[in-house]
Structure 1
Amino acid sequence: MEQLLPALGVSAVVFVSTNIDDILLLAAFFSDPAVTSRQVVAGQFLGMAALVAASVACALLAARVPDG
């Protein structure tokens, strides 16, 4: 239980820092006249779906690894 609070703190800092980066990139894409808003939103959803799929695949693989 004593390791939970530091892990939560680190995860919160990582979450905030990656979202700041994401917001800056999205602002750059939305400000580019060559890219439509629909393309930016579709790319964001496809990228998130790829990350979720990779996370699920890694979790399934990790569940199959023996404890020893």
Structure 2
Amino acid sequence: MLPDLYAEAGLVPAARVRWNDDYSPAGWDYDNFRAFNHGRRDVVFLADDPDRVGGGYPRGL
């Protein structure tokens, strides 16, 4: 999904924080994203790494 596309462009995970319902966007539909940790995906911050263009997304980071 999106992390795989970002990895192809050379973006790598730099940090990850757990979802916090207090900061969810207005109107966030948890049911619409239920397949992804019950609508509560981690928030992942990405950094550009030109040496990783075409690379894969490292799972579990």
TM-score past 0.5 threshold: no
> Could you tell me the TM-score, scaled by structure 2's length?
0.21
Select the structure with the greater relative contact order (CA < 8 A; seq sep ≥ 6). 2
- State the TM-score, normalizing by the size of structure 1: 0.20
Question: More helix per residue: 1 or 2?
Answer: 1
* Structure whose alpha-carbon radius of gyration is higher: 1
Q: Greater strand percent: which structure? A: 2
